[in-house]
Structure 1
Amino acid sequence: MSTTASTTPPIRTVMSPGRYVQGKGALARLGEFVAQIGTAPLIIADDFVWGIAEDQVSASFTAADLRIERVGFGRFATATAVDALVEKIKETGTDVVVAVGGGSAIDAAKSAGHLAGIRWVSVPTVASTDAPTSALAVIYTEEGEFVEYRFFPRNPDLVLIDTQFVANAPVAFLVAGIGDALATWLEARATAASNSTTMAGGQPTQTGTALAKLSWEIIHENAFSALDAVRDGVVTPALENLVEANTLLSGLGFESGGLAAAHAIHNGLTAAPQTHGLSHGQKVNIGSLTQLVLEGAPRAEIEDFIEFTTRVGLPTTLTEIGLTVEDETELRAIAELATVPTETIHNMPFAVTVDDVVSALKSIERLSRSVRADRGLAEPVKHVAKH
């Protein structure tokens, strides 16, 4: 997504969802907001999520005189899953698709809604990614390997997140969201430095860059208190702040501020089967640390990043994602996928090669272990891939 020569003057642009709703008990008002968008909704939710959300969603839809039509969903947003949803939309005469659940279900709904020519709504039940607000979807293979980004001309008409659901979910989801959102500022500042094209289709705006930085600041101020709130299953101001940072601010910041090396390296990591059991945010955190190494960030900044993310519970070594510095074949495959011509790593303000990425990935093992030892942090525990 780097800038290319053009005969027309460059533009700067910001994209955002039509409406963002967040708060404890917000799900009870879903029908009220969906009824302003369409009259024949189709709900996309896997069986587990539907078991938790069905009563509240159904009650809100009934109160708004909306039909209750639900279709299940698998693990990944694959091209096949999207095409199946398009057929279901056509069969049921749907005019708005409502995704309830995680990032993959939401991405599939956005992609299917776009192909079917209808409107779409994101209802994340966890704050594990910043995908819900964006006008793009990530498509994977059945095994979880990155395939492509799909871009849409508009964002969701509605993003609604009930913070009590976030508080009730395992804390690992919120940790993953922190990993995803922390990359937003690191990538936005790199994109601003290179004046590259953002996911919104223009050069970065001051607004997008500022929102990315605000997300970073709110996360650092609220993360630990918010994680404790989730461990206790309660909604607190710190949790509300963190959910907004993870979801809205990071979503706006990455889309209109720009992606760079961190997410490209995440996509590259999907080439290694060892990483398939990891969350999006865990892999992104490795990408963020690798980006800091690539850009020669100040040692103090890197050390602080390692300490903060280790204390949050995110991986900062190859060991923790099932790799080693000796895995030359896997590391090169990761680097090659991360540096394909269409990848966002080329938004960095300097050229990045396959060899650069391999070297940076190898370097984080010793670097992180050293910082963790100096600061009294836990030793890395090897991630064992589940097949």
Structure 2
Amino acid sequence: MTTPIRTVMSPGRYVQGKGAIERLGEFVAQIGSSPLIVSDDVVWGFAGEQVTASFAAADLRVERVAFGKFATAAVVDALVEKILETKADVIVGVGGGSTVDAAKAAGYLAGIRWVSVPTVASTDAPTSALAVIYNEEGEFVEYRFFPRNPDLVLIDTQIVANAPVEFLIAGVGDALATWLEARATAAANATTMAGGLPTQTGTALAKLSWDVIWENALPALDAVRDNLVTPALEKLVEANTLLSGLGFESGGLAAAHAIHNGLTAAPQTHGLTHGQKVNIGSMAQLVLEGAPRAEIEDFIEFTTLVGLPTTLTEIGLTLDDEKELQAIGKAATLPGETIHNMPFVVTADDVVDALKSIERLSRSVRKARGLPAPVKYVQKHAPVLVGAH
């Protein structure tokens, strides 16, 4: 029998700051000499000029392949072929979570190094040693795990500030789950995504991400509404991206992200961001835990003020959608799902009951605290799909 180990994983280098993308070539040149860039047309439209200039300054070629919408198995395989065709020795994913994940997965299969350049702080995908693969309809298919993290993660906070605020809101939803899941994993002494038992480091970073978010999220979101880079935004971007990334990978995932994966089985949720669905998973996890009433009420108030959903209504579901709710519960509790890291057994029926219960619970708290009543979310921008988990 193998002796259990505790382990921490992290990217080789993390770079963050206003104008950081102007130095991308400098850092990529330390990793490889023949890069292949993966980026969708929208992202390339606002970042391509700076990336090209930075590569030219570092005497690197600019070889780019356009990315679509989902990190599917077919998309990853096509990228591998492009890597071989262009003789690339490092792949650079520039864009949202799925772009970054596709680059990581292709880089691993092709046996080259990989770089994450997120243009939004909407998930903690960029730092991790895993990717999420979807089907063509955007439904979760599988996690793919890699033996190492990206060699470089670089995020330009001015680009984050210029992006629609909804993306940063989604990042808050994703990152808030990190501590809730890490503490559950620690209580269960369960295995983390890093392939070992949780470390004090991973758990502590998860808690730090939670604390930084509660202190800085609201002023940071206001800054982004005015396209400004402030200290609060810098702190929130680091919490959403680095702290949450290290925290989830080496601290552990539990119910919140498993329920997110289950929610992808409901067509009504396909227009939502990863973080919006994760926040519903966090709500359901708090209910499953029987968390203190004050903690749940504070979580509802804070995430409502941030702009995240806390009811089924807001994600397009109702209590009468029995077929979809059962499908969600079944998918969330499949063998191997992270919900089994909870320190107690969770069944599909438990998940359904928890999801149903948050409707009345959230409505009553929001009414008591003078917060807006729930309305269905309308996705104004193309969803940024999860990359990391």
Q: Shared fold (TM-score greater than 0.5)?
A: yes
The SS at the match of 1:132 is helix
Partner residue of 1:93?
87
Unaligned runs of 5+ in 2: 383-389
Letter in 2 for 1:107: D
- Give the secondary structure class of the aligned counterpart of 1:54: helix
Letter in 2 for 1:191: T
- Which residue in the other structure is 2:31 paired with? 37
Query: Structure 1 pair 384/49, CA: closer, same or farther in 2 (3 Å)?
Result: closer
Q: Does the 8 A contact of 1:132 with 1:159 survive in 2?
A: yes
Q: Distance in 1 between matches of 2:379 and 2:371?
A: 24
Alignment of 1:348 with 2:361, yes or no, is no
Corresponding residue number in structure 1 for 2:197: 203
2:132 to 135, 138, 147: 138
Residue by residue over 1:233-256, the C-alpha shift from the partner in whole angstroms, topping out at 9 and shown as x without a partner, is: 110000000000000000000000
C-alpha distance in 1, partners of 2:300/2:70? Answer: 29
Cα distance, 1:9 vs. partner?
A: 1.3
Letter in 1 for 2:336: T
Note if 1:305 corresponds to 2:299.
Answer: yes
Shift of 1:385: 8.2
In structure 1, C-alpha distance between the alignment counterparts of 2:300 and 2:220, rounded to whole Å: 19
| Whole-angstrom CA distance in 2 between matches of 1:139 and 1:77 | 5
Report the Cα distance in structure 2 between the residues aligned to 1:306 and 1:76, rounded to whole angstroms. Answer: 31
| Equivalent residue for 1:325, pick from 305, 316, 319 | 319
1-structure distance, mates of 2:305, 2:356: 22
* SS, match of residue 86 in structure 1: helix
1:371 aligned residue: 365
Q: TM-score, normalised by structure 1?
A: 0.98
Following TM superposition, by how much is the alpha carbon of 1:173 offset from its aligned partner in structure 2, in angstroms? 0.4
- Amino acid paired to 1:336: K
SS of 1:199's equivalent in the other structure is coil
Give, as a single letter, the amino acid of the residue that structure 2 aligns with 1:125: T
CA contact (8 A) 1:266 1:283 kept: yes
Letter in 2 for 1:134: S
Q: Which residue of 2 aligns with 1:154?
A: 148
- 2:387 — aligned with what? none
Secondary structure in 2 aligned to 1:310?
helix
Structure 2: how far apart are the matches of 1:313 and 1:81? 32
Question: Does structure 1 residue 60 correspond to structure 2 residue 60?
Answer: no
Q: Which residue of 1 aligns with 2:221?
A: 227
| Aligned residue number for residue 98 of structure 2 | 104
- Give the counterpart of 1:189 among 171, 183, 186: 183
Q: 1:385 to 1:334 in 2, by over 3 A?
A: farther
Cα separation, 2, equivalents of 1:150 and 1:339: 19
**Structure 1 CA distance, aligned partners of 2:35 and 2:128?**
20
Distance 1:48 1:91 in 2: 25
Alignment equivalent of 2:170, drawn from 155, 166, 176: 176
Tell me whether 1:79 sits opposite 2:73 in the alignment.
yes
* Contact 1:309/1:316, CA 8 A, preserved across alignment: yes
The residue that corresponds to 1:315 in the other structure is 309
Partner residue, 1:121: 115
SS in 1 for 2:229: coil
Aligned partners of 1:9, 1:384: CA distance in 2, in Å?
49
Cα distance in 2 for partners of 1:332, 1:294 equals 16
Task: Give, in whole Å, the separation in 1 of the partners of 2:165 and 2:377.
Answer: 18
Q: Specify the code of the residue in structure 1 equivalent to 2:19.
A: G
Paired letter, 2:12? G
- 1:311-351 Cα offsets, whole Å, 9 max, x none, are 00000000000000111100000000000011000000000
What do residues 246-282 of structure 1 show as CA deviations (whole Å, max 9, x unaligned)?
0000000000000000000000000000000000000
Partner of 2:385: none
8 Å Cα contact 1:322-1:384 kept in structure 2? no
| Corresponding residue of 1:253 | 247
* Other structure's SS at 1:138 match: strand
Asked if the contact 1:269/1:334 (under 8 Å) is kept, the reply is: yes
- Corresponding position of 1:236: 230
Report the residue type matching 1:148 in the other structure: E
CA apart distance, 1:384: 6.0
Deviation sequence 1:339-375 (CA, Å, 0-9, x none) = 0011000000000001100000000000000000000
The code of the aligned residue for 2:115 comes to: V
Contact 1:275 1:385 in 2 (8 A): no
Paired residue type of 1:21 = V
The separation in 2 between residues aligned to 1:352 and 1:87, in whole angstroms, is 42
Q: Following TM superposition, by how much is the alpha carbon of 1:383 offset from its aligned partner in structure 2, in angstroms?
A: 3.7
Q: Deviations over 1:284-305 (max 9, x none)?
A: 0000000000010000000000
Who is 1:267 aligned against?
A: 261
One-letter code aligned to 1:8:
T
Distance between the aligned counterparts of 1:55 and 1:129, measured in 2? Answer: 25
Q: Which amino acid aligns with 1:381?
A: V
RMSD after superposition? 1.0
Match of residue 210 from structure 2:
216
Q: Distance in 2 between matches of 1:205 and 1:110?
A: 25
Contact 1:274 1:385 in 2 (8 A): no
Q: Report the Cα distance in structure 2 between the residues aligned to 1:244 and 1:134, rounded to whole angstroms.
A: 14
Q: Measure the CA separation in 2 of the matches of 1:49 and 1:385.
A: 19
Structure 1: gaps spanning 5 or more residues: 1-6
